[in-house]
Chains A and B, each alone.
Chain A
């Protein structure tokens, strides 16, 4: 069992934080998506990642999950590298709805079982324990009765819950959810939020990206404001201010150069609410091209 190195019991004791250390990402079409972004997602919290569309939320997620490698900087799960953290099943990811092929011939149960693959031997034969954990995870999100449905036959909220169940089955200590509330009704949103609160209380670290600003203050302990770089990070009460939001979504760069922080990771997220970075002309160049193509 190559991937089951970290036993679940030890992991229950401690929570893990996400240390994003000065990362920059430029895509191959030369669009700069993230610039000198540093932050620390505190262990055992629910942290909301807030920013405009195209502000780099997905890029930051992909960097944290190791789906893309930044041009500069690195991400750690405390002092564990991303690759190691993934092999230890520390990191679970709940994708956006449009990243999934809903016509794929696969049932809800099989999707959730995929959360257990990392614990199985090379042939991926589920043990009794795997099956029990899958059933428990389905039960916990209220999807037991839909376990044999093909995933495309679910409503928007049920689809989200199915993938949430996969994250539960994986028992990752760090859970990233990309836009979990889009296409979801109020009731499902509430039950997802309740589940996230429970997970936090069990010592999971939850990072949620959303542009549903209204719900942030109801369940996020902390927020990170992002537009090309980390504009502010801290407790919701201190950081989720109108002034900061205007800065994040208003898009006007505030001119103070990104300070090379010498702070320890723990301190980093406690930057003063107004802490801001330049958004060097990041978005402009794409349009002028068209003609010479």
Chain B
């Protein structure tokens, strides 16, 4: 702990401004840091866009499920020499189909079904990962490894990410309608079943995108927190999108940067930053923040009191 403090404070305490400056820009002189910064910012953008739909649709738990369910897919893909993203997508999407099927065929509530299916997939993945000889580092799957990301992985991340953004961008109005009022979507003759599976496959794609950056354990944070933060700050969907992307990208950049100096987990730093943004929004949000709600209540109470006094 003291070592950590020292490493943060020593350059600040050093007299020479030159040294401090060098310390500050040091990460930007390293190729792998530059790469980690822009990759995580890209992933942050993709996740932030989708997170607006996921929070409004109430699918956060589904995101958690898909992210854990991709593990066997990653292992199988490596074993067969296929791109990891292909295996991850197939198993992630497969898990959502399995969840839909089990839910339709049993009397269980959705959260129970999700709990059963995703832990089942995840456990199966663990067994495979420990039995199939491969050079997969389980720790990297679980917690991400954006600092050591290979060019090949970057290409996969970019393809999955751009595909996600393209689908959402082209279908954004229908997807929003589907989140808001699926009955109306049906009433005007839209194929709601197709929209359901579109949103699910986009979810699986996004998780594939974020796998290398945040790892499967933390990816759900990237899929929920930016949208949740933005939802506390605005009543307009367009603005919600912008706030979500802004908070997510800056969390990714600062998180990655700090993780270098702190020598700490990059995914962890990114999500901590996101959580700080969320807590700030929750406390100081202009309309739905705790402080604002508190003073609004007090204001209303005082107004009512005044009115009562005037009446009597």
Does B170 touch A at the CB level, under 8 Å? yes
Of A45-53, A102-110, A272-280, the stretch lying at the interface with chain B is A102-110
Partner of A65, one of B179, B180, B183: B183
- Kindly state the separation between the CA atoms of A107 and B237 in the bound complex, as whole angstroms: 9
Decide yes or no: A105 and B236 within 8 Å by CB, A117-B173, A123-B170 being known contacts: yes
Could you list 16 examples of A-B contacts with CB < 8 Å? A3-B188, A29-B107, A65-B187, A66-B187, A88-B189, A89-B188, A92-B187, A93-B184, A104-B56, A105-B235, A105-B240, A117-B174, A117-B177, A118-B190, A124-B173, A150-B235
Pick the 5 closest A-B CB pairs, nearest first. A87-B189, A118-B188, A150-B235, A86-B189, A124-B173
- Kindly state the separation between the CA atoms of A127 and B69 in the bound complex, as whole angstroms: 43
Chain A interface size range: 35 or more
Specify which chain B residues have a CB less than 8 angstroms from the CB of A118 in the assembled complex: 188-190
Interface, chain A (partner B; CB < 8 A): 3, 28-29, 65-67, 83, 86-89, 91-93, 95, 99-101, 104-107, 110, 114-115, 117-118, 122-124, 150, 152-153, 166, 170
Partner of A91, one of B181, B187, B234, B237: B187
Asked whether, in the complex, the Cβ of A86 is within 8 Å of the Cβ of B188, the reply is yes
Tell me, rounded to whole Å, the shortest Cβ–Cβ distance linking B286 to chain A: 14
Does B42 touch A at the CB level, under 8 Å? no
Specify which chain A residues have a CB less than 8 angstroms from the CB of B261 in the assembled complex: none
With contacts A89-B189, A100-B181, A105-B231 known, what are 10 further pairs, Cβ within 8 A? A28-B107, A86-B189, A88-B189, A93-B184, A101-B56, A105-B234, A110-B237, A117-B177, A124-B174, A152-B235
Specify which chain A residues have a CB less than 8 angstroms from the CB of B190 in the assembled complex: 117-118
Tell me, rounded to whole Å, the shortest Cβ–Cβ distance linking B103 to chain A: 10
Interface of A, helix, strand, loop or mixed by DSSP:
mixed
Specify which chain A residues have a CB less than 8 angstroms from the CB of B189 in the assembled complex: 3, 83, 86-89, 118
Tell me how many residues of B have a C-beta within 8 Å of chain A. 24
| Of listed B56, B107, B181, B240, residue having the most chain A CB within 10 A | B181
Partner of A104, one of B173, B180, B186: B180
Asked whether, in the complex, the Cβ of A106 is within 8 Å of the Cβ of B107, the reply is no
Asked whether, in the complex, the Cβ of B183 is within 8 Å of the Cβ of A95, the reply is yes
- Kindly state the separation between the CA atoms of A100 and B184 in the bound complex, as whole angstroms: 11
- Kindly state the separation between the CA atoms of A124 and B172 in the bound complex, as whole angstroms: 9
Asked whether, in the complex, the Cβ of A95 is within 8 Å of the Cβ of B181, the reply is yes
Over the window 169-203 of chain B, the binary record of Cβ atoms lying under 8 Å from chain A Cβ atoms (1 yes, 0 no) is 01001101101110110111110000000000000
Specify which chain B residues have a CB less than 8 angstroms from the CB of A114 in the assembled complex: 177, 180-181, 184
Asked whether, in the complex, the Cβ of A99 is within 8 Å of the Cβ of B183, the reply is yes
Decide yes or no: A123 and B180 within 8 Å by CB, A87-B189, A89-B189, A105-B231 being known contacts: no
| Of listed A28, A86, A114, A170, residue having the most chain B CB within 10 A | A114
Specify which chain A residues have a CB less than 8 angstroms from the CB of B176 in the assembled complex: 106
